[in-house]
């Protein structure tokens, strides 16, 4: 099949890059430069050219994001002056670049259909790599890793840990099952694709991935009208879980992670989910109100010598915290309240399928530490893009 050059347009090229962008999030050049930052530079520079062509009419949710950004910038400057901590230039460049993607790229150059095609293809490729790693592990006891800081015990495709793969895979699953992509794909192919991805998440032994799967398939079962398919899926799903628990370590490891999540001491779960809130309780009252600023957690923790009950010896001084607690730390009670208002506002404004992504996004920020990364920004991007589509349809109806 030949490719016609006239079909290779700028929006399609950018859609290809945007779909590839989160897939390379954990891969570095020479150990210190992320490969996907090159893609980010291209997307940001190109997106900014759109301002020359068309006036920006920001939506309320985009304005709310702007308010959160201003609060965070103010608190960052205050922390820098008060504690004499260096301004995190690189962190802020990355943060502003993400906002540019949400506001400008989405508005001027986003090709939805092309993006979804490539997104599904890339996630399928990541899935295939994960299966290959698992087969290697079964056969030899070891498997190939593609990033320097990857876990040696659990397969994670080309990411450093299974959760990073799971975030992308579950977005693909819920988008495919709920037909959020507007692609001409049969229901049978959508279900098969989602089942394969779900199985890959199970063998990655991601505990948070198990929660995301239960949500994605749960809402599909609730709203699917084919009773026979529901019964078949329920029987097959139950049989699969029993098989995994009796024959393999995949599901066992995920369940053990839940059992080990003791918020009274040091565990991987408590360190990720609860540590940020413990740090928040140690900062000054005025900082609780306005926050410590984006990119300042490590600096503040080290300057004030904050050690929480969730810190192991090797983790003291780390900036590691869940995305939701990071928002609280970065912007304080004021910014956190604005963020929650934005989520509630978007949820109420969204249609039923859009609300599924909002709920999934909230589960993401609650349980994962990778704030301001593609895995967390892209769901928000897709939420706002769907809202824009609803607004256009509403205007046409009027």
Contact 103, 58 (CB under 8 A): yes
Structural domain count of the chain: 2
C-beta separation of 310 from 282 below 8 A: no
Same domain, 102 and 119: no
DSSP state of 291: -
For residues 118 and 252, membership in a common domain is answered with yes
Does 398 lie in the same domain as 291? Answer: yes
Full domain range(s) for residue 242: 112-259
Q: Are residues 84 and 185 in the same domain?
A: no
* Domain shared by 34 and 167, yes or no: no
Co-location of 366 and 250 in the same domain: no
- Return all residues near 46 (Cβ < 8 A) that are at least 6 apart: 10, 14, 105, 109
Which pLDDT score, from 0 to 100, does residue 74 have?
95
CA atoms within 13 A on the CB side of 221: 14
Measured CA to CA, the distance from residue 44 to residue 35 in angstroms comes to 15
Residues 130 and 246 in one domain: yes
- Residues 275 and 187 grouped into a single domain: no
* Domain-ending residue, one of 234, 259, 284: 259
Note the pLDDT of residue 254: 54
Q: Which pLDDT score is estimated for 2?
A: 37
Report the alpha-carbon distance of residue 291 to residue 287 in Å, rounded.
Answer: 5
The pLDDT, as a whole number, for residue 397 is 43
283 and 396 within one domain: yes
Question: Quick one: angle between helices 60-83 and 374-397, nearest 10?
Answer: 150
Q: Among 259, 289, 322, which residue terminates a domain? A: 259
pLDDT tens per residue across all 398 residues of the chain: 334 445 678 889 999 999 999 999 888 877 677 888 889 999 999 988 887 777 777 888 889 999 999 999 999 999 999 888 889 888 898 889 888 888 888 888 889 999 999 999 999 999 999 999 989 988 888 899 888 778 788 899 999 888 889 999 999 999 999 998 889 988 888 888 998 898 898 888 887 888 899 899 888 888 777 676 666 666 666 666 665 655 455 555 555 555 555 545 445 556 567 788 888 888 989 999 999 999 888 888 888 888 777 676 455 566 778 888 889 999 999 999 999 999 999 999 998 888 999 999 998 888 887 777 787 888 888 888 888 765 433 334 43
Q: 73 with 132, same domain? A: no
Torsion sign (Cα): 62, 65, 71, 72: negative
Burial state string for 209-226 with b = 16 or more CB within 10 A and e = fewer than 16: bbbbbebbbebbeeeeee
In the listed set 233, 259, 285, which residue is the last one of a domain according to the structure?
259
Q: Are residues 148 and 233 in the same domain?
A: yes
Tokens describing residue 302: 């080290």
Name the nearest CA neighbour of 362 among 398, 323, 332, 336.
Answer: 323
Q: Are residues 16 and 145 in the same domain?
A: no
Question: What DSSP string describes 191-244?
Answer: HHHHHHHHHHHHHTT-HHHHHHHHHHHHHHHHH---HHHHHHHHHHHHHHHHHH
């Amino acid at each position: 099949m030949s490719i016609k050059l006239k079909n290779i347009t700028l929006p399609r090229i950018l859609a290809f890059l945007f779909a590839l962008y989160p897939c390379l999030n954990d891969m570095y050049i020479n150990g210190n430069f992320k490969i996907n930052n090159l893609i980010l530079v291209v997307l940001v520079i190109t997106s900014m050219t759109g301002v020359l062509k068309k006036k920006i009419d920001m939506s309320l949710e985009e304005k709310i994001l702007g308010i959160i950004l201003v609060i965070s910038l103010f608190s960052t400057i205050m922390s820098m002056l008060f504690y004499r901590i260096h301004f995190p230039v690189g962190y802020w460049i990355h943060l502003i670049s993400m906002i540019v993607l949400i506001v400008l790229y989405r508005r001027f150059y986003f090709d939805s259909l092309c993006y979804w095609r490539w997104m599904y293809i890339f996630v399928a490729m990541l899935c295939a790599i994960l299966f290959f790693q698992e087969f290697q592990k079964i056969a030899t006891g070891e498997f190939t890793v593609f990033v320097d800081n990857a876990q040696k015990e659990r397969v994670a495709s080309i990411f450093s840990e299974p959760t990073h793969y799971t975030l992308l895979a579950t977005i693909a699953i819920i988008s495919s099952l709920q037909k959020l992509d507007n692609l001409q794909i049969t229901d049978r192919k959508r279900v098969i694709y989602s089942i394969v991805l779900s199985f890959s998440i199970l063998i990655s032994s991601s505990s948070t991935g198990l929660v995301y799967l239960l949500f994605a398939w749960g809402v599909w079962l609730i709203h699917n009208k084919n009773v026979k398919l529901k019964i078949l899926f329920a029987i097959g799903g139950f049989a699969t879980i029993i098989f995994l628990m009796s024959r393999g370590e995949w599901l066992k490891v995920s369940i053990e992670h839940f059992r080990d999540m003791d918020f009274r001491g040091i565990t991987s779960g408590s360190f990720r989910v609860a540590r940020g809130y413990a740090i928040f309780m140690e900062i000054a009252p005025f900082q609780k109100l306005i926050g410590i600023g984006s990119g300042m957690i490590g600096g503040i923790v080290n300057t004030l010598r904050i050690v929480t009950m969730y810190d192991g010896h090797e983790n003291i001084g780390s900036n590691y915290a869940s995305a939701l607690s990071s928002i609280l730390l970065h912007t304080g009670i004021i910014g956190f309240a604005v963020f929650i208002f934005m989520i509630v506002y978007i949820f109420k404004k969204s249609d039923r399928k859009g609300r599924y992504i909002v709920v999934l996004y909230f589960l993401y920020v609650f349980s994962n530490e990778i704030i301001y990364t593609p895995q967390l920004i892209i769901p928000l991007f897709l939420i706002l893009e769907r809202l824009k589509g609803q607004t256009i349809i509403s205007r046409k109806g009027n």
